[in-house]
Structure 1
Amino acid sequence: MSQSINARRKLNPLQKLPLLIWLVLVWGALWQDFSAGNLLFGALIALAVSQVFYLPPIELSGRFNVLQAVIFLLWFLKQVTVASCQVLYWAVAKGPKIRNAVIAVPLRSPSDLLMTAVGHVLSLIPGSLVVEVDRGCATLYVHAMNAPTPESVERVRTGIQDIEARLITVMGTKEELAELRSERTGASMVAYADILKSPDQQDSDQQSPDQQKDLGEGQ
């Protein structure tokens, strides 16, 4: 196992670059010193940390749409403003009577970068917070305020999946972008968790309630 990890490190040195840059920026921010000498020292520490402690590489999609990023930023600022007013209203008008929920949100992409981006956006918008991430099936578990009914839960889930869709337009892969465009022309969304289902499970899910009842009685 250790040999395969070391081989993968040597074969993919560029995959560490985003992580190293991020660690250097964090180092400079912690010391509040972005001088060349301090950043060079931070780079040496980042290299040492990445060699001693194995971390999953950040895989980039190879595309970044600047225009869509600007549109997303403006949309994000609007959402923060609207959500702040909503949370203020709920706190004043409903107080302890408000009903919250923890919602499982399956995502389209298994990309760690996209899952992390969606989680951070949710955490920055008042009223929602990621409490757990299932990387294996690309599912976020989100604590959402004011979700008392199944309809409101579905609205929250759809809103989070919309955040992922917006991020895909900014930095998703070409394949993810093509699937997103097919959704906009009428195709249904396919979550990564659904792709992981075995054919037997998918056939069972597609059976009618009467067929499932007959199978249960036969057993």
Structure 2
Amino acid sequence: MTGDPAPAATYRLRHQLPLLVWLVLVWNLLWGTWSWANLLGGIVVALAVTLLLPLPPVVGGARVRPVALVRFLSYFVVDLVSSGALVAWQTVRPSGIDRSAIVTVQLRTDSDLLLTILAESLTLVPGSMVIDLDRERRTLGLHILHVSNEDDVERQRASVLAQEERVVRAFGSPDEIAALGLAPGEEPARAGRRTP
């Protein structure tokens, strides 16, 4: 017994429509002028991209919690301003930037969406850049512009874990929020698994 393909096609089109509209908009913005030819060309390109290069479906989605979102955005803006001022000072001071470091941080989440939000929020802050993200191992590699000692490195690690917690609390599922209680790198217990 086979299902009716019409509802599946309607469901797929409904979820692909925002992507199609976005691709057409980007196509027109890249051309710099609006015309019927650019609009039709954008539609053809958007359909070709989505049909020939389909993306895997996004599982789940964001569950936005307003209070946690405001907290996340508040910390992000403060980090943005303070780090921008610090980097500006370090570039104009006579001694310049002494040492930088690459730090690996063991995370607690493995959600594609949450990791993307975390990586973008860390990279947008001046003075740090995500250079590696391993979802399977739940590790994040981060380049830090200025460190003076090992305490600075540990402070940066703690800052990344605090940012991860804010992201998960703002956008994560209840299971992902519960996983914040685990130590970084610790696997959550699976249902039905017996412990010795």
Q: Which residue type is aligned with residue 149 of structure 1?
A: N
Provide the rounded CA distance (Å) in 1 between the counterparts of 2:183 and 2:21.
34
Conserved 8 A contact 1:101-1:148: no
What is the deviation of 1:106?
A: 2.0
Which has the bigger relative contact order, CA under 8 A and spacing at least 6?
Answer: 2
Provide the rounded CA distance (Å) in 2 between the counterparts of 1:39 and 1:117.
31
**2:79 matches 1:88:** no
Provide the rounded CA distance (Å) in 2 between the counterparts of 1:190 and 1:21.
42
Provide the rounded CA distance (Å) in 2 between the counterparts of 1:99 and 1:139.
23
Aligned to 1:170: 170
What is the deviation of 1:163?
A: 1.3
Q: Which residue type is aligned with residue 118 of structure 1?
A: L
User: After the TM superposition, which residues 68-83 of structure 1 pair with which residues of structure 2 at under 5 Å, given as runs?
Assistant: 68-83=68-83
CA distance 1:19–1:156, change in 2 (3 Å): farther
Q: Which residue type is aligned with residue 93 of structure 2?
A: A
User: After the TM superposition, which residues 93-172 of structure 1 pair with which residues of structure 2 at under 5 Å, given as runs?
Assistant: 93=93, 95-172=95-172
Provide the rounded CA distance (Å) in 1 between the counterparts of 2:37 and 2:67.
35
Number of aligned positions between the proteins: 179
What is the deviation of 1:32?
A: 5.5
Conserved 8 A contact 1:104-1:142: yes
SS at match of 2:155: helix
Q: Which residue type is aligned with residue 195 of structure 1?
A: E
* Structure having the larger proportion of residues in helix: 1
User: After the TM superposition, which residues 51-70 of structure 1 pair with which residues of structure 2 at under 5 Å, given as runs?
Assistant: 51-61=51-61, 63-70=63-70
TM-score (norm. length: structure 1): 0.65
What is the deviation of 1:36?
A: 10
What is the deviation of 1:111?
A: 1.2
Provide the rounded CA distance (Å) in 2 between the counterparts of 1:23 and 1:44.
10
What is the deviation of 1:22?
A: 5.0
CA distance 1:179–1:194, change in 2 (3 Å): closer
**2:186 matches 1:190:** no
Q: Which residue type is aligned with residue 178 of structure 1?
A: A
Provide the rounded CA distance (Å) in 1 between the counterparts of 2:80 and 2:130.
16
Alignment gaps of 5+ in structure 2: 1-7, 189-196
| Stretch moving more, 125-134 or 23-32 | 23-32
Q: Which residue type is aligned with residue 61 of structure 1?
A: G
| Stretch moving more, 58-67 or 84-93 | 58-67
What is the deviation of 1:46?
A: 3.0
TM-score (norm. length: structure 2): 0.72
Provide the rounded CA distance (Å) in 2 between the counterparts of 1:146 and 1:118.
20
